[in-house]
Structure formats: structure tokens, C-alpha cells
């Protein structure tokens, strides 16, 4: 078992499983966040966010999510480092020339998964500090609870998108990076799991495009929607 995990296919397998699990989280997260768009009173979003913080099942899933995220990041670093060492060993003379010549824009995403991942981490750190940390630990005057003990997460989120244009820009860049990362990631995960004969390859490719547009587009749309609505 430990041999399998240490092997390159084992690492890819773990990346795939944790990656697909994180996609599930993101789909639920987007569904909750989309209530910001559908209800401008904020009631729907506040109740959904409150449910997500107080529900016992979600409380069990949260540490699993954190573990999945950490394993995904750790293994990504390991694989990238190993690939870098292999590439350095191969990049001599004619081979180096050939590799550079073969670079094409279409392969950019697959070669830069780690760069996109790093961009997503930078986004995530700022994101968690802005919302998660305040809601869980430090509090914020904007979060004032109503008579049912529901905190005003809507006020916290929308005021950030209305007051700070750089935050909106960061979210849009983060969402685009996420979309590109997922476009290659979903396809690659299913291939690693061995579900990629000709017919399934087309289906999973389509699923990858669908997931990246929904998640990338959705997460970019929400801050833009809030900011533009406040200006008109």
C-alpha cells in the first residue's frame, strides 16, 4: 500500500480523488453563494450560510475537506518537484531545443497546473482571511446576529465587493485560474482513474468543460454582479 502511494501513479490517484472531492465542495459552495444573486434581501444567503456552519453533518465534513485540500496541495508539490528534476535531467543539448520548440499554447494549462494552483492558494488565503476567519473566530460588526442568532454574512460579503474593487479583481482572477485548473484537472483525474476509452474520454472532456465554466464563471459572476449592481 505504501509502495503504491509513493509511486507516481499512486500520487496521481490521490490527486484525482482529492481533486474530485474538492469539486463537490465547490459545487455546493457555489450553490450557497449564488443566493447572493437571487435574493437581494440577503435572507436566503444568511440562512444557507448559517445552516452550513451549524449543521452537524457539515461539521464532520469540514475537517475532511481541510484534509483533502492539504493532501491535494502537498502531493501537487511533490509531483511538480519530481517532474522538475526529471525535466532538468533531460534538458540537455538537442532535447532541450526540441522540448522548447514543441511548446504550444494549447498545452499551457496542463504544463502550468502548479502555477494556476499557486494562484488559487493566494486567492484562498485572502478569501479565508476575509470571510471564513471573521465568521468563525474574530467576528465583524457587519455580522450582527438577528433575533434567531443568524449572522449577517450577506452584509460582510457584499460590503467587501462594493467597497474594494481590488477584491473583485482578485476574485475574478482567482475564478479564471480555478476554471482553467479544473478544465485540465477533471479530464486528467478521470484518465488517471482509468475511465478514458474513446467514448468516455469525450464525455469526461465535456464534463471538465462544463464544471470549469460553471465554477469559474459562477465564482467570477457573483462579485461582479454585486459591484455593478451597487453602481447603477
Residues that bind ligand HEM (CB under 6 A): 26, 29, 33, 49, 52-53, 120, 124, 127-128, 131-132, 135-136, 153, 157, 171, 174-175, 178, 219, 222-223
Between 113 and 222, CB nearer to ligand HEM: 222
Smallest gap, in angstroms, from Cβ of residue 89 to ligand HEM?
34
Between 85 and 128, CB nearer to ligand HEM: 128
- As to burial, measured by CB atoms within 10 angstroms (0-12 exposed, 13-18 middle, 19+ buried), residue 36 is buried
CA 27 distance to own-chain centroid = 10
Smallest gap, in angstroms, from Cβ of residue 190 to ligand HEM?
20
Between 52 and 193, CB nearer to ligand HEM: 52
Smallest gap, in angstroms, from Cβ of residue 111 to ligand HEM?
21
Between 116 and 120, CB nearer to ligand HEM: 120
Smallest gap, in angstroms, from Cβ of residue 127 to ligand HEM?
5
- Give pairs for 207-213: CB < 8 Å, separation 24+: 208/182, 208/183, 208/184, 209/183, 211/23, 211/27, 211/182, 211/186, 212/178, 212/179, 212/180, 212/182, 212/183, 212/186, 213/179
- As to burial, measured by CB atoms within 10 angstroms (0-12 exposed, 13-18 middle, 19+ buried), residue 216 is buried
> In Å, what is the CA distance from 18 to each residue of 37, 182, 229?
29, 13, 36
* CA-based nearest residue to 47, from 159, 150, 156: 150
Q: Which residue is nearest to ligand HEM (CB)?
A: 222
Smallest gap, in angstroms, from Cβ of residue 204 to ligand HEM?
21
Between 89 and 137, CB nearer to ligand HEM: 137
Between 131 and 200, CB nearer to ligand HEM: 131
Smallest gap, in angstroms, from Cβ of residue 64 to ligand HEM?
11
Are 150 and 135 spatial neighbours (Cβ–Cβ below 8 Å)? no
Amino acid at each position: 500500500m505504501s509502495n503504491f502511494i509513493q509511486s507516481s501513479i499512486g500520487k496521481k490517484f490521490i490527486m484525482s480523488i482529492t481533486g474530485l472531492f474538492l469539486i463537490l465542495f465547490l459545487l455546493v459552495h457555489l450553490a450557497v453563494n449564488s443566493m447572493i444573486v437571487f435574493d437581494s434581501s440577503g435572507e436566503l444567503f444568511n440562512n444557507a450560510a448559517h445552516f452550513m456552519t451549524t449543521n452537524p453533518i457539515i461539521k464532520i465534513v469540514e475537517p475532511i475537506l481541510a484534509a483533502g485540500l492539504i493532501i491535494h496541495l502537498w502531493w501537487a508539490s511533490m509531483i511538480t518537484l519530481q517532474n522538475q528534476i526529471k525535466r532538468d535531467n533531460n534538458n540537455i543539448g538537442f532535447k532541450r531545443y526540441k522540448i522548447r520548440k514543441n511548446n504550444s499554447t494549447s498545452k499551457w494549462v496542463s504544463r502550468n497546473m502548479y502555477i494556476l494552483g499557486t494562484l488559487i492558494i493566494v486567492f484562498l488565503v485572502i478569501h479565508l482571511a476575509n470571510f471564513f476567519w471573521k465568521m468563525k473566530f474574530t467576528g465583524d460588526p457587519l455580522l450582527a446576529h438577528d433575533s434567531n442568532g443568524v449572522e449577517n454574512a450577506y452584509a460582510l460579503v457584499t460590503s467587501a465587493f462594493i467597497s474594494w474593487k481590488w477584491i473583485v479583481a482578485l476574485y475574478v482572477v482567482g475564478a479564471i485560474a480555478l476554471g482553467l485548473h479544473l478544465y485540465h484537472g477533471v479530464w486528467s483525474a478521470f484518465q488517471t482513474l482509468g475511465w478514458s476509452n474513446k467514448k468516455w474520454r469525450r464525455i469526461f472532456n465535456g464534463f471538465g468543460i462544463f464544471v470549469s465554466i460553471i465554477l469559474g464563471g459562477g465564482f467570477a459572476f457573483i462579485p461582479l454582479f454585486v459591484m455593478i449592481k451597487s453602481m447603477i
